[in-house]
Amino acid sequence: MKILFMCVANSCRSQMAESIANHFFKESVDAKSGGTAPSQVNPNAVKVLAEIGIDASQNRSKHINDFNNDNFDYSISLCGNPTEGTCPVFFGKVNSRLHWPFPDPADATGSEDKVLEVFRKVRDDIKSKIEKFVNRDF
């Protein structure tokens, strides 16, 4: 199953989804990620992925147009906050488009511990959603 995960900056949620899918579900998933305004991978996303055994230190933020020549079974947007602007839509070759709203952990404020707590929650929620999706338990 080929999946393109998307959020605006391709810095947190879509990066976490791509990494989680390819790490835990590599037998059945080939995941990519991109955004409409790619920036850089958020260091806190890298940090919380490392906590669960995933090295995302070499990940880079990509534009969804980088995948226009690829075929996907699913494109999944992960935007969850209306203030983010327009959630990406992939106009390339895809069989189904889905939307899984998750809050942007990059918006978290407070101490480093509080911010990482938000990143961990979003990471764990994304992992749970992917697991249910891959196992067709939805």
Alpha carbon distance 99, 76 (integer Å): 5
CA atoms of 136 and 51, how far apart (whole Å): 26
Catalytic pick from 52, 87, 115, 134? 87
Which residue in the list 16, 48, 79, 116 is annotated as catalytic? Answer: 79
Sign of CA dihedral 97, 72, 15, 8: negative
Helices 112-134 and 13-24, packing angle to 10 deg: 50
Catalytic status, residue 79:
yes
The C-alpha atoms of residue 63 and residue 92 are separated, in whole angstroms, by: 12
Helix or strand (DSSP H, E) at 120: helix 112-134
* Cβ atoms of residues 78 and 102 within 8 Å: yes
Per annotation, catalytic residue among 4, 6, 7, 106: 7
Q: Annotated catalytic, 12?
A: no
Q: Name the helix (H) or strand (E) containing 93.
A: strand 93-99
Active site (annotated) includes residue 7: yes
Question: Known catalytic residues?
Answer: 7, 79, 87
